[in-house]
Amino acid sequence: MKFRCILSHHEEQPNRQRRFLMRKVTLLLSLMLVVMLVQGAMFAAAQEYFFGHGSLYMGDEWMKVTDKAIHYYAEDNGWKIITQNGDLSAEQQIKQIRYFVEQGVDGFIWSPTDAVACAEVAQWAKEQGVPSITYNTDVKTDAVPLTILFDSRAVAQTLAKEVIKYLEETHGEAKGLVISLQGDAANDTDRDRAEGYKEIFSQYPDINFVEYYTLSKMEVAEQNAFSAIQQFGRPVAIVSQNTTNSRGGMNALRRQKMLVKRGEPDHVFIASIGGAPAYLDLMKEGYSDLGYVQPNLFYGPLALHYLKVVIEQGEDALPAIGSVVTEEDLKITGGVHDIDP
């Protein structure tokens, strides 16, 4: 059975939160020289690690920042790490994982492009003695003992409820066309987001809910939203799996001369998971309304931490299923890095 470390805003779901108790050993050393030698040995050992990072894709700022955080954390710990861009292609990512193994990595962290198609290569890598930890998306195999996730279904439900609240307050009822622009049906996280939206909107018979999978390509999202508007008329809301999709939807509204600011008549409510700079700019301008941001700076460091645990102590040292990890149990720290805005 696989352990999932879910970064969740839902306190009422204890079965989806985990905790492990860290054994604390205190060593009393009488000589400062001994302390320095121990610290030096630990740093030297850390420098020996060579890791791989398999990115889901690099098509938006969220993924690029996630990768930067991973490289900064590795740098802070004296580890070498290489990144391969899966570009939403299972075939490509499978080749990249084989490349990691051929290059002699000690282990790798990755966001699987396809939960089913990538299972076999994860098993193969483990058989070669190369463990892995997933984050953001998962893969259907126990060869990966742990994944770091954000509760995508619950967050999509939260955004959908906010749309309903807006419609009831502004229009007097939850009624009209809602366009749902989702990512890739092949990965579990995107399906969870799509289902989370659908589960809420399906409860309202006067909502005409239409859904499209776009592979997170802005031009595809734009065309799908444009087609929906041509077929069904002006939407009351557009919800999306990420802000690349939402911006594609807003481009479609702009083409139809339907993109109006918040507070004006016929404003289309825009809600998305994510908070990319371009989307936040649109929010400041009054065109988009809600964004729910994942803690992407923590995904990679957490995954690398637990990958190191597996390498040094084995899978049995991972948090027990049913336990909850809090900031009191686990400290992920690093240096300060200057990046271009």
Q: Is 292 exposed, middle or buried (0-12, 13-18, 19+ CB in 10 A)?
A: middle
pLDDT > 70: what percent of the chain?
Answer: 85
Whole-number pLDDT of residue 296: 87
> Contact 20/315 with Cβ under 8 angstroms?
no
Whole-number pLDDT of residue 23: 25
3-class secondary structure for 77-144?
A: CCCEEEEEECCCCHHHHHHHHHHHHHHCCCEEEECCCCCCCCHHHHHHHHHCCCCEEEECCCCCCCCC
Q: 257 with 313, same domain? A: no
Please check whether residue 9 lies inside any domain of the structure.
yes
Q: 205 with 144, same domain? A: no
Helix (H, G, I), strand (E, B) or coil at 309: helix
pLDDT for residue 29 is more than 50: no
Q: 130 with 246, same domain? A: no
Q: 161 with 237, same domain? A: yes
Whole-number pLDDT of residue 5: 56
pLDDT for residue 311 is more than 60: yes
Strands 107-110 and 132-135: parallel
Please check whether residue 338 lies inside any domain of the structure.
no
Whole-number pLDDT of residue 299: 92
Distance, CA of 325 to CA of 341 (rounded, Å): 32
Distance, CA of 271 to CA of 278 (rounded, Å): 14
Q: How many domains does the chain divide into?
A: 2
pLDDT for residue 303 is more than 90: yes
Q: 163 with 144, same domain? A: no
Average pLDDT of the chain to the nearest whole number? 87
Structure pTM? 0.76
pLDDT digits (tens, 9 = 90+) for 76-130: 999 999 999 999 999 999 999 999 999 999 999 999 999 999 999 999 999 999 9
> Contact 76/68 with Cβ under 8 angstroms?
no
Q: 199 with 281, same domain? A: yes
Whole-number pLDDT of residue 290: 97
pLDDT digits (tens, 9 = 90+) for 233-276: 999 999 999 999 999 999 999 999 999 999 999 999 999 999 88
Whole-number pLDDT of residue 292: 94
Q: 137 with 160, same domain? A: no
Q: Which residues contact 204 (CB under 8 A, 6 or more apart)?
A: 164, 174, 175
Please check whether residue 178 lies inside any domain of the structure.
yes
Q: 161 with 147, same domain? A: no
Whole-number pLDDT of residue 77: 93
What is the CATH number for 10?
3.40.50.2300
The identity of residue 94, as a single letter, is: I
pLDDT for residue 36 is more than 50: no
pLDDT > 90: what percent of the chain?
Answer: 74
Write out the residue range of the structural domain in which residue 144 sits.
3-22+48-151+295-317
pLDDT for residue 144 is more than 70: yes
Please check whether residue 188 lies inside any domain of the structure.
yes
Backbone angles phi, psi at 65, to 5 degrees: -70, -40
Higher pLDDT: 237 or 326? It is 237
Distance, CA of 293 to CA of 281 (rounded, Å): 15
pLDDT digits (tens, 9 = 90+) for 4-27: 555 543 333 333 332 222 222 222
